[in-house]
Structure 1
């Protein structure tokens, strides 16, 4: 079994050795405009060999890329496991880096440390190219801009990480590269902090133009992750189900393709040029959704290469966080998912903006109006009962936590056995809403952690 032949964007290695040849290939792709893909467990002729101890090897690869290459590669690569018949391969997707030239930490910014992809080979980079790339290096990024405020808190971000497979330690700001080289919190930290000036607007119009604005919601002034989830929730609610009766069948589908919708929202936010301090905006019309983000196709990348899926992250710090929280999947896959449902013509490019226009499904009517009255009533009744039960749990929990309580004590008091359901449906929403607080906020997973009800500072009453 073979999986192709090596080319400018594809490299094979049969195994990972202790030599720095592996890093050399990664650096060459980082210095290439479009990036590339490297497989471990494939012979030079494309024959699938496979690897042993894939999970351990995956972690070792991540550590080597992070520790042996400069500048930071955070948010610029994915390390994935891929099955071919009964054999496991490791697939490494590398984006073109915004801070070229990348180099081996050991050898520095020299021809022995910098490499470039030429055909299917990785060659030393000449001194004049190193100097030219360094002169063009992008320095105006959210990672290099110092936040105007330094007294930032990150309770919301810690909650999201605590609910994921990762946790944040005391060095999280440094580890997530939320600090400038001189130790100050950067603009990425500002966007991910509990309070900031970034607000994402979702507008709704009654017709096909902007003449009659009937709804204007703002989601923001909080952690960008929280704002993103709020925008996704809003648009998911707006994405109603439509039906069409044909001679053969009753077709049911959403106004907008749910997968493409989610990818378009995430892409617009993660790749927005926040250095201009303008967030993306979302506008619902009677026939379409328009998503406008600041910025354009990365310099040197053509529209054709953009649609192929070559990835040059605008904000690698945000990309890292969104990937940690599983809001972004495989690097460069978002465009493919969108184009599986819509044509390339939904994209509009200008010098300063990218607009995505997602048309609503044509010839469909809301299925709710076609549903039997008993079904509608049952749905409404079930929703009301679930809401009342959630409210009852919330009030009971807040009353119980007037004094600090452990998670186990709270669950036992509410009579809830499913820990995962309790954490996601009850505990985390109250923490995010600021109604409940951690007694040790800097260490969310501490065995001594307790939860306490937040008092309303204006009235002195329980929130």
Structure 2
């Protein structure tokens, strides 16, 4: 494949390579783009010698040499092509154009735009026009109406946050006040996500009306995922030869849709996303339509333009979402473009329920199994004995090395479900902290 307006090839990372220029050009380009390292201009795969070191250098250069902050707007991932390791840099079009090299500021030496297959200096008139129309009404720029916020939940998920975490995670306005992103991620807020269940095909007969929130958006997200996972019932058909299982909705597409709705919701409207379950479908509605300038065609092609780059960055740090632009293609693979509906102020995804399996009088028997405990929590309970144990010991038993994944998918859900408990609950970050099974946990185990 040759270079295009959205694809750039570079042979290798060197000090002389003006990587920042290429990234800035894509940040300032509506559709963003891809930069491959380890491929020459003719598309020949050369490979990268020290891929881990180069990936760290790339992240560091983009983070420190470009303004406004591009955090949450790029991914650096390793790929294998023709048996060789290469690096792919995914860059999304940003909403705070113009982006520029910090060293040169908003000048023709610092600003670039993608023209054809090249990154060209941006004319000063375009720089001035983009700056004048720069999006300022974002959760990173809006001052939180509360400044007395605590972040214990965020500390649990990150574990190693330093005193500068508010600045490093872009939870402060330019004036140094906590912003609306900080408010959403704080331990206590007034944001609640609704998960409703109806009898029938309309909103007349409400069976359940659950609200998850008033806490860190990350914790609320986990609660929504757990609730809908329980609702995503497994149906099993048992024949004389095999057991055939299927769920109401594709779990991969459903997970992507939930994250997409929460991370890309337009919180400046002070309207949270909502999830509604009917007899024949699930509807997922988030505030805000497509970002300005992003067409439906671009959206369906996986072009990413994060609405809330601060949230995107943190959810990626915690491995809750994967690389930019990967969510929509996963949804389309199962449900097609028709599942999306773009309104003036909202976006809705509708997933039809799979055909219900009825009892057969021949050799089929239908049974319904509701999963009350996630697979990860079950694994955690299985390695816990009667003795109190540490986080490190549990990770070793589970053969896990990535701490955020363990905390988010295993430990915290078990704590929330009261299946395990802390030995020092009033000091959750104590170095002497241990965990043990509760009576409920012992019964489940």
Same fold by TM-score greater than 0.5: yes
**Counterpart of 1:346?**
339
Give the Å deviation of 1:277: 0.9
Residues 190-231 of structure 1 show CA distances to partners (whole Å, capped at 9, x for unaligned) of 100100000000000000000100100000001100100110
Instruction: Please list, as runs of the form range in 1=range in 2, the aligned pairs for 1:366-381 lying within 5 A after superposition.
Output: none
User: Which residue number corresponds to residue 170 of structure 2?
Assistant: 177
Residues 244 and 363 in structure 1, CA contact (< 8 A), matched pair in contact too:
no
| Structure 1 residues 114 and 371: alpha-carbon distance in aligned structure 2, compared to 1, 3 A threshold | same
The whole-number CA distance in structure 1 between the counterparts of 2:31 and 2:410 is 41
Distance (whole Å) between structure 2 residues aligned to residue 204 and residue 215 of structure 1: 5
How far the C-alpha of 1:147 sits from its partner, in A, is 0.8
In structure 1, which of residues 191, 201, 212 is the aligned counterpart of residue 184 of structure 2? Answer: 191
Partner of 1:418: 397
Are 1:145 and 2:145 an aligned pair?
A: no
Partner of 1:457: none
Aligned equivalents of 1:200 and 1:230: distance in 2?
10
CA contact (8 A) 1:242 1:365 kept: no
- Residue 312 of structure 2 is matched in structure 1 by 319
Residues 32, 304 of structure 2: 8 Å contact kept: yes
Q: 1:76 aligns with which of 73, 77, 98?
A: 73
Contact 2:233/2:248 (CA < 8 Å) preserved in 1?
yes
Instruction: Please tell me whether Structure 1 or Structure 2 has the larger radius of gyration of its CA atoms.
Output: 1
* Matched residue, 2:198: 205
Task: Find the counterpart in structure 2 of residue 109 from structure 1.
Answer: 106
Identify which of 97, 100, 104 aligns with 1:100: 97
Question: Any residues of structure 2 matched to 1:305-316 within 5 Å, and which?
Answer: 305-316=298-309
How far apart, in 2, do the equivalents of 1:284 and 1:419 lie? 35
Cα drift, residue 80 of structure 1: 0.4
* Correspondence 1:86 to 2:71: no
Distance 1:104 1:366, change over 3 A: farther
User: Mind listing any 5+ residue stretches in structure 1 that lack a counterpart?
Assistant: 401-405, 454-463
Structure 1 counterpart SS, 2:252: helix
Quote the RMSD (CA, aligned, Å).
Answer: 3.5
Unaligned runs of 5+ in 2: 401-405, 437-445
Match of 2:232 among 213, 216, 239: 239
Answer yes or no: is 1:133 the counterpart of 2:130.
yes
> Pairwise mapping of residues 8-407 of structure 1 onto structure 2 (< 5 A)?
8-19=5-16, 21-162=18-159, 167-243=160-236, 251-365=244-358, 407=390
Q: Are residues 137 and 426 of structure 1, via their aligned partners in 2, closer, same or farther at CA, if it must alter by over 3 Å?
A: closer
User: For the residues of structure 2 that align with 1:372 and 1:345, how far apart are their CA atoms?
Assistant: 31
- Asked if structure 2 preserves the Cα contact closer than 8 Å seen for 1:42 and 1:49, the reply is yes
**Cα shift at 1:156:** 0.9
CA distance in 2, matches of 1:195, 1:221: 5
- In the superposition, the TM-score normalised over structure 2's length comes to 0.86
* Superposed displacement of residue 364, structure 1: 2.9
Shift of 1:19: 2.8
Report the alpha carbon displacement of residue 135 of structure 1 after superposing the two structures with TM: 1.0
